[in-house]
Amino acid sequence: MTGGKNRKVRMGKVFDDICRWQRDAVKDKNIHTDDELKKELGNIIFSTIRWCDDLGYDPEECINKAIDCQRKFQK
């Protein structure tokens, strides 16, 4: 496993950026654009895929498990 610890730190940073975007503080309004949010959501998706790979998991299998779980929860 390479970079796993750094990956977790980066994912935490991205999650914090998304939370900050949601809080929408006055001091941050000038950087809260749709493009910025799209970038942060893309970062969390990409970081998660890389984390799966670092752990030796197939990202597609992880996604399919999550989809199945979400579908069961919706019912």
> Which two tokens mark 70?
């979400």
Q: Please write the tens of the pLDDT for every residue from 47-68.
A: 889 889 989 999 999 999 999 9
Confidence of residue 1 (pLDDT cuts 50, 70, 90): very low
Looking at the structure of the chain, the number of domains it has is: 1
Q: Which domain holds residue 48?
A: 4-74
Q: Please write the tens of the pLDDT for every residue from 9-45.
A: 667 777 787 887 777 777 777 777 888 889 888 988 9
> With 60 as the cut, is the pLDDT of residue 2 above it?
no
Q: What is the DSSP string of 12-56?
A: HHHHHHHHHHHHT-GGGGGG--HHHHHHHHHHHHHHHHHHHHHTT
Confidence of residue 4 (pLDDT cuts 50, 70, 90): low
